[in-house]
Copies of this chain bind each other. A is one copy, B any other.
């Protein structure tokens, strides 16, 4: 089974520790504000050992960002099977929980703050996270159009609209005010309103779907609203 020697396992585990430490420190202090000593201490290794794993600060920064790509989860992959409105409602909350997670917000701030000095990281992040997510939304919406439940010309625009309606406001707030993130109640306000507007503009049966949505909203106020962010 384990074709890896103890030495190789150690190496892999320590590299993981270094990357985790790097994410934490870089996200807190930015690129220029981060010291390699701080990364070494955070990872529990010594500085010379750190340099055996990554040959420079820039190499570590780049490796850390590339490692983070894979962490972006696959949303919009598991429709609930309880109908389009329930699917959209579930997706909206899954997405909100992810996109407003403090660690992912810190990563986003880091990337935005450094993108002018490292232009490739912005493109890489966009392609690995938001773009993949957007195409997941597009696929789902196209399926609902084929089933006659939605009506639109351009799936990409429809997907962008859904995202913008539901999460642009709370995410902007969270990005600019890390010490006053939107409460669950505020998020619910944006999410529910966003879904209403989306259905009103895109549903082929807006009246029915809006009624379904209102039923869903009043049925689940506690299950979602009291759920904490930390799993």
> CB within 8 Å of B: which residues of A?
27-33, 106, 109-117, 119, 122-123, 125-126, 130, 154, 157, 160-161, 163-165, 168-169, 172-173, 175-180, 189-190, 193-194, 197, 200-202
Q: What is the chain B residue whose CB lies nearest that of A153?
A: B193
Query: Contact: A168 with B176, CB < 8 Å?
Result: no
A-B contact pairs, 29 of them (CB 8 A): A27-B116, A29-B32, A30-B31, A30-B32, A31-B32, A31-B33, A32-B33, A33-B117, A106-B116, A109-B112, A109-B113, A109-B116, A112-B113, A115-B175, A115-B178, A116-B178, A123-B176, A154-B193, A161-B165, A161-B193, A161-B194, A163-B168, A164-B168, A164-B194, A165-B165, A168-B168, A197-B201, A197-B202, A201-B201
Query: Contact: A30 with B114, CB < 8 Å?
Result: yes
Q: How far is the CA of A112 from the CA of B113 in the complex (A)?
A: 6
Query: Contact: B112 with A176, CB < 8 Å?
Result: yes
With beta carbons under 8 angstroms apart, the residue of B32, B122, B202 that contacts A177 is: B122
Give the chain B neighbours of A172 by CB distance below 8 A. 130
Q: How many copies of this chain are found per oligomer? A: 2
Specify which of A119, A189, A190, A193 lies most central, judged by the most chain B CB atoms within 10 Å of its CB. A193
Q: How far is the CA of A110 from the CA of B117 in the complex (A)?
A: 12
Q: How far is the CA of A193 from the CA of B152 in the complex (A)?
A: 11
CB A76 to nearest CB in B, in angstroms, measures 17
Q: How far is the CA of A178 from the CA of B110 in the complex (A)?
A: 15
User: A29-B117, A130-B172, A157-B190 provided; 4 other pairs, C-beta below 8 A?
Assistant: A30-B32, A112-B175, A161-B165, A161-B197
Give the chain B neighbours of A113 by CB distance below 8 A. 30, 109-110, 112-114
